[in-house]
Chains A and B, each alone.
Chain A
Amino acid sequence: MKARLWLLACIGLAALLVPLLPLADPAAVDLERALQPPSAAAWLEHGRTLPQWHGPLAGPCAALRRACFGDAQIAPLLGTDALGRCVLARIANGARISLLIALVASLASLSVGTLWGASAGLAGGRGDQLLMRGADILGALPLTFLVIFVVALLRSWRAENPESSLDQTAVLLLVTAVVSWIPAARMVRAEVLSLRSAVFVDAARLAGATPARILRQHILPNTAPVAIAAWTLTVPRILVLESFLSFLGLGVEAPGVSWGLQLRQGCDALTAVHASWWLIVFPGLALALTLLLLGSVGEALRVRLQPGGAA
């Protein structure tokens, strides 16, 4: 458990610190060295253009990197793609986008789901039925198809309004969050419902505790583990959805990098002449490893947080 958590933290930290690491520019095209296989012949190389960053911290980051590493950058150890871009750098940069979307969207969907499920569970009776019927109807729809439909429409709308602030990442965040809150809502509702009729809650009611106190002291603390478990299950789901959409060409777009997009480009580059396996194996491994870690950490967390497990 500890080792897995550390590994996950390392992946997250690496994604966070990408601007400081001596990595190549993920967008630097160099057709002369297209489709180079992985090699460990040279670890570092010098004199290539450094990646450009935007945003408030871009200047200090660039300065810090220059101070630490000069103009050195890691050679394409994991090979290069069809445009001669470093696969390693692209994986690292892809992690930033993919994990950011997964994190933010899962938190958004968790708050919606928890709120929805908790209101349904607390309301009970007709309110509960109304809220959960809504979730049921949404859950019965082929959401991925609707998401693709909506993304396609939004892309079309963005093409008409290029100056709009709604960029592709925001669209992805919004759409994935909107469709992924239902399982969390169901889990939280079930827990709240069972807690509401728990004997110890009856005991608290008989003790004269106000509804607010019961909520604060009994229901919320006992629901928290379920919410955390729901969250750890949502993150991998969103990660898959994002890479799925990017793979189809409906997610992160070409100048950007994401694992799904990278895999797509890898598959496109597959031909009978050039079986460039490294374009698929490495991003695929990055994605699979992250999903594996998230899944097993989530499962372990769920087991550990079960009531009484800690006591």
Chain B
Amino acid sequence: MSPLLEMNGLCLASGALPLVHGVSLSVAQGECLALVGESGSGKSLTALSILRLLPEPEVRITAGTIHLAGVDVAAGTADAACNLRGRVAGMVFQDPQSALHPCVPVGQAVAAIVRHHLQCSNAAARQRALELLKEVSIDDPARRAQQWPHQLSGGLRQRVALAMALAGNSQLLIADEPTTALDVTVQAQLLGLIAHLQRERGLAVLLISHDFGVVAAAADRVAVMQAGRIVETGSVATVLAAPQHVYTQTLLAAVPRLDAAPRSTERAQLASARSTVLVRTENLSVAFNGAAPVLQGVDLEIRTGEALLIVGESGSGKSTLLRALLALERPATGRVLWQRGEAGTQDPWALPPAALRRERAQMGMVFQDSLAAFDPRLPLRASVELPLRASGQVVDRARVDALAREVGLEPALLERFPRQLSGGQRQRVAIARALITEPSLLLLDEAVAALDVSLRAQVLTLLLELRARRSLTLVFVTHDLAVARMLADRILVMQRGRVVEAAPADVFFSGPQQPYSAELLRAVLPPDPVRARAVIAAAAL
């Protein structure tokens, strides 16, 4: 029996620029093939071409065949492929935020597709839609069907998208980064659901991902893509355990792992210096415009030289906590206290403005969105030099250039505008800006979340180096426990605006005390098929 999807020598090009060079792959009934690669590797375009959803004519198929259930999709027109969409293959995309029409109740959206494919009555379509919603494990489908997308969480929306992809009884599911925008616990549940559907329906799955944990959990076979080519294919166990191609090896090496030994070379010596408290909060609460508080009764201490990792899922208030620590958000109750040399601790909101500005120069901050963090109208050098100018120091060009080199940046790049740099380069500039006043405390808000795996590893390594060289105190906010494992001396777990657990990193990772932190830790997908499958099997229960 021939496989459901068979792609041979597919080439895609935008104008004269080739994007994908001769990709061949196949997916059989009931099998899950993962296509792994970093952003720009062409994996999404390859997936889109299967249903002829490419932004034609800007991006065209220039050569190759795509046999989907025996029909060559690449040969015909895009309209001819329309008949296969939803019937033979359905697709789920990355962003659940915008994947559904915002003005249609979700039940109605699913029913519309059912009605189109099955040519049945309205009532029958609605009935079938409810069954589909139930099949993708949505509780109380009758109530959910009445709701609008904006009333549903990201995980539920992604389930609805899944129901829409399956509404025409398609045999192949193409999932393009389906869990990237979701929290870890939700991610494990969704992958468990996909694995379940794969077994029950005999569904073939083509999974596009950049995350080896996701691949390990869901895939039977893996194809690794780099710059428009497939560099390695094989069963998931082989590829992850013994990668053949150099690129796969680099990628896998860059993945932060929970079970890796922490880079504790510097830690021993730093631990002794852990004496004075730099920043402290007492019963800190923050609320916006009378809404429910985003932070509630947070007590914490940041000590000289330590690396404190604040972890939590989206909406847990971890970014707000960071802003409150920097006196960017005014506390509703409680207070933040800064250590000021001999003067003792001080509430920043009680400081005169000039003193507050002086104190802030002792803290550096790196934001998540590196593009928004720089004034689009200023060349980057002006932004980097701003802290010096603001504190009335002499701007020494050589010093700025030296710092740029220290963070691994060509100084000439500083003459450019923010949009002209890549995300990784900009994040390095952001780190340079945070360090220009030589602060003792560096705070980072999801600073590597937007970066590709290999870049992420580079930036994290840079942080470790900087920390050792400058004896920095780090406060790092992240949702990624593997990143936390790599950096942390101490972990702070947040849930719904509260600190649920604070513990030294070693203690935490060997066995968290609180059920919520244990749940978080359990949901992390290691790049190891056996354990990753165990995780999603547990989550699907």
- Answer whether A and B touch in the complex at a CB cut-off of 8 Å: yes
Instruction: Please give the residue numbers on chain A whose beta carbons come within 8 Å of chain B beta carbons, in ascending order.
Output: 198-200, 202-210, 213, 217-218, 221-222, 307-308, 311
Q: Give the distance in Å from the alpha carbon of A297 to the alpha carbon of B328 in the complex.
A: 40
Cβ–Cβ < 8 Å partners of B353 in chain A: 210
B357 touches A202 (CB 8 A): no
Contact A222 to B360, CB < 8 A, known contacts A203-B367, A206-B328, A213-B390: no
Contact of A200 among B360, B383, B387 (CB under 8 A): B383
B372 beta carbon closer than 8 Å to chain A: yes
Stretch of B3-11, B374-382, B448-456 on the interface side = B374-382
Contact of A204 among B364, B376, B386 (CB under 8 A): B386
Cβ–Cβ < 8 Å partners of A207 in chain B: 360-361, 386-387, 390, 433, 437
What residue in chain A is nearest B377 (Cβ atoms)? A221
Contact A311 to B417, CB < 8 A, known contacts A213-B390, A222-B375: yes
Instruction: Please give the residue numbers on chain B whose beta carbons come within 8 Å of chain A beta carbons, in ascending order.
Output: 323, 326, 328, 353, 357-358, 360-361, 363-365, 367, 369, 372-378, 383, 386-387, 390-391, 417-420, 433, 437
Cβ–Cβ < 8 Å partners of B374 in chain A: 200, 203
B328 touches A210 (CB 8 A): no
Cβ–Cβ < 8 Å partners of A198 in chain B: 372
Most B CB atoms within 10 A — which of A198, A200, A204, A217?
A200
Most B CB atoms within 10 A — which of A208, A221, A311?
A208
Cβ–Cβ < 8 Å partners of B391 in chain A: 208
Q: How distant is A227 from chain B, measured CB to nearest CB, in Å?
A: 14
B367 touches A311 (CB 8 A): no
What residue in chain A is nearest B363 (Cβ atoms)? A206
Contact A205 to B328, CB < 8 A, known contacts A200-B383, A210-B357, A311-B417: yes
Contact of A308 among B386, B419, B437 (CB under 8 A): B419
Q: Give the distance in Å from the alpha carbon of A235 to the alpha carbon of B440 in the complex.
A: 54
Q: How distant is A129 from chain B, measured CB to nearest CB, in Å?
A: 11
Contact A208 to B357, CB < 8 A, known contacts A200-B372, A311-B376, A311-B417: yes
B365 touches A206 (CB 8 A): yes
B367 touches A209 (CB 8 A): no
Q: How distant is A234 from chain B, measured CB to nearest CB, in Å?
A: 24
B358 touches A208 (CB 8 A): yes
Contact of A199 among B358, B372, B386 (CB under 8 A): B372
Q: Give the distance in Å from the alpha carbon of A311 to the alpha carbon of B418 in the complex.
A: 9
- Taking A207-B360, A207-B386, A207-B437 as given, write out 10 further A-B residue pairs in contact, using a Cβ cutoff of 8 Å, ordered by the A residue number: A202-B367, A203-B433, A204-B386, A208-B358, A208-B390, A209-B357, A210-B353, A217-B378, A311-B417, A311-B420
Cβ–Cβ < 8 Å partners of A222 in chain B: 375-377
A203 touches B390 (CB 8 A): no
5 CB contacts below 8 A, A to B, read A206-B328, A208-B358, A210-B357, A221-B377, A308-B417
A199 touches B390 (CB 8 A): no
Q: Give the distance in Å from the alpha carbon of A200 to the alpha carbon of B433 in the complex.
A: 12
Cβ–Cβ < 8 Å partners of A210 in chain B: 353, 357, 390
Q: How distant is B318 from chain A, measured CB to nearest CB, in Å?
A: 16
Q: Give the distance in Å from the alpha carbon of A221 to the alpha carbon of B390 in the complex.
A: 18
Q: How distant is B385 from chain A, measured CB to nearest CB, in Å?
A: 10
What residue in chain A is nearest B416 (Cβ atoms)? A311
Q: Give the distance in Å from the alpha carbon of A202 to the alpha carbon of B433 in the complex.
A: 13
Q: Give the distance in Å from the alpha carbon of A203 to the alpha carbon of B353 in the complex.
A: 16
A200 touches B328 (CB 8 A): no
Q: How distant is A127 from chain B, measured CB to nearest CB, in Å?
A: 15
B376 touches A308 (CB 8 A): yes
What residue in chain B is nearest A213 (Cβ atoms)? B390
**3 closest pairs, A vs B, by CB?**
A207-B387, A208-B357, A311-B417
Q: How distant is B478 from chain A, measured CB to nearest CB, in Å?
A: 18
Q: How distant is A242 from chain B, measured CB to nearest CB, in Å?
A: 35
Cβ–Cβ < 8 Å partners of A203 in chain B: 365, 367, 373-374, 383, 433
B419 touches A311 (CB 8 A): yes
Most A CB atoms within 10 A — which of B358, B386, B419?
B386
Cβ–Cβ < 8 Å partners of B375 in chain A: 200, 204, 217-218, 222
Q: Give the distance in Å from the alpha carbon of A213 to the alpha carbon of B378 in the complex.
A: 14
Q: Give the distance in Å from the alpha carbon of A195 to the alpha carbon of B360 in the complex.
A: 21
B328 touches A202 (CB 8 A): yes
Most A CB atoms within 10 A — which of B375, B383, B419?
B375
Cβ–Cβ < 8 Å partners of B390 in chain A: 204, 207-210, 213
What residue in chain A is nearest B391 (Cβ atoms)? A208
Contact of A206 among B326, B372, B417 (CB under 8 A): B326
Q: Give the distance in Å from the alpha carbon of A311 to the alpha carbon of B328 in the complex.
A: 30
Q: Give the distance in Å from the alpha carbon of A222 to the alpha carbon of B323 in the complex.
A: 24
Q: Give the distance in Å from the alpha carbon of A205 to the alpha carbon of B386 in the complex.
A: 10
Cβ–Cβ < 8 Å partners of A217 in chain B: 375, 378, 386
Q: Give the distance in Å from the alpha carbon of A188 to the alpha carbon of B73 in the complex.
A: 51
Cβ–Cβ < 8 Å partners of A206 in chain B: 326, 328, 360, 363-365
Cβ–Cβ < 8 Å partners of B323 in chain A: 202
What residue in chain A is nearest B357 (Cβ atoms)? A208
What residue in chain B is nearest A218 (Cβ atoms)? B375
